Copies of this chain bind each other. A is one copy, B any other.
């Protein structure tokens, strides 16, 4: 596959101009660009610039409001519920996470459920906002339904990711960020482009038969919950995805389960939606709400060092700590640039032409 290398600055300037062009404020354009590109620099290519066109199409379809009035509609000292006013999730989510952080400053922890929002980029970005405050950050979101519960063939849940960021002292932070499915949809898209099969256990066909067809989602197939099948714990992945759905959208008044709004603007909205838009859930916990921060972070250093030095299987050197691969990628890409595949470049250029912005 052809690809070209772009610098962070090149992409950043382009994206920001696009967000400005659809009517976002300067501030919101900056935030949305930063969140979107955090995916590309961390190597989660499916959630970065590759999605810009998708957001623009949702704006064209009037499903995204580029100038939202984000409001707290319910709150207690440690919680808030937010109506995102159909804004870009890339903007609504950092706003909501900041409220969680503020609540945690006051009462130890903050928990914010968000409805009437849209796709928020990578969950990890929002969870990581807590780190500089010596807090543990948590972020999750529901998403368009592509996943069948255990023993079902119907699309009921999204890939519903969970991110948890935990600060350390000398060591880099622990940052887990994962879909609650065996494989994220982005992994299937990579196989489609390469014309390769998927491993057994990632997807099933419309009759619940095992399948290795990377295009099966276009044939009424479904993604499988983490665990793949009942014998390997898919009921646990189904439960995790459900918890994310309920915390994000049932608590907030968002649209949950099979009624989650689809990301592709050409897919009609579900009928009889029980709430508005996508939902997210954020948490921030001050570590010094539990024990002195330095003491906690020293023990995190000890935890991380011990796990990194766990006895490896033959052929492996060090055990990975969640966040290691993305941090390595970030270092590499900030130095040497971000490779973008040709089909995404073509897509970006078309978006640019609409608004007279050149890449």
Answer whether A236 and B178 are a contact pair too, CB < 8 Å, given A152-B319, A258-B306, A314-B207. Answer: yes
Q: Is the CB of A246 within 8 A of B310?
A: no
Complex-state Cα separation, A76 to B288, whole angstroms: 9
- Residues of B contacting A316 in the complex (Cβ-Cβ under 8 angstroms): 151-152
Q: How far is the CB of A232 from chain B (nearest CB, A)?
A: 5
State in angstroms the CA–CA spacing of A235 and B316 once bound together: 15
Give the CA-CA distance A154 to B312 in the complex, in Å: 7
A227 touching B154, Cβ below 8 Å: no
Complex interface: stretch among A104-112, A189-197, A345-353: A104-112
With the chains together, A322 CA to B176 CA distance in Å? 24
Measured between beta carbons, the chain B residues less than 8 angstroms from A245 are 303
Which B residues are CB-close (under 8 A) to A174? Answer: 242, 246
Interface residues of A in 76-111 (CB under 8 A from B): 76-79, 81, 106-109, 111
> Is A337 interfacial (CB 8 A cutoff)?
no
Number of A residues with CB within 8 Å of any CB on chain B: 85
A142 CB, min distance to chain B CBs, angstroms: 11
Q: Are A291 and B153 in contact (CB under 8 A)?
A: no
* Given A151-B316, A226-B236, A291 contacting B258 (CB threshold 8 A): no
Which of these, B108, B152, B183, B307, contacts A313 with CB under 8 Å? B152
Tell me the A241-271 residues at the B interface (CB within 8 Å): 242-243, 245-247, 250-253, 256-258
Is the CB–CB distance between A239 and B322 below 8 Å?
yes
A328 to chain B, nearest CB (A): 15
Known contacts A77-B78, A289-B78, A307-B156; is-contact A207 B246 (Cβ 8 Å): no
Known: A76-B108, A182-B233, A251-B290. A310 touches B201 (CB 8 A): no
Q: Which residues of B contact A314 (CB under 8 A)?
A: 207-208
Asked whether A313 lies within 8 Å of B208 as measured between CB atoms, the reply is yes
- Check: A231 CB closer than 8 A to any chain B CB: yes
- A interface residues, Cβ below 8 angstroms from B: 74-79, 81, 106-109, 111, 113, 136, 148-154, 156, 164, 166, 174, 176, 178-183, 199, 201-202, 207-208, 226-228, 231-233, 235-240, 242-243, 245-247, 250-253, 256-258, 274-275, 285-287, 289-291, 296, 299-300, 302-303, 306-307, 310-314, 316, 319-320, 322
Supply 15 further A-B pairs (C-beta < 8 A) apart from A156-B306, A182-B233.
A75-B289, A76-B109, A77-B77, A107-B107, A151-B316, A152-B310, A152-B313, A152-B319, A166-B243, A176-B239, A182-B227, A226-B226, A250-B300, A257-B303, A274-B302
Ranked nearest first, the 4 interchain pairs of A and B with the lowest CB-CB distance are A76-B108, A208-B313, A176-B239, A154-B311
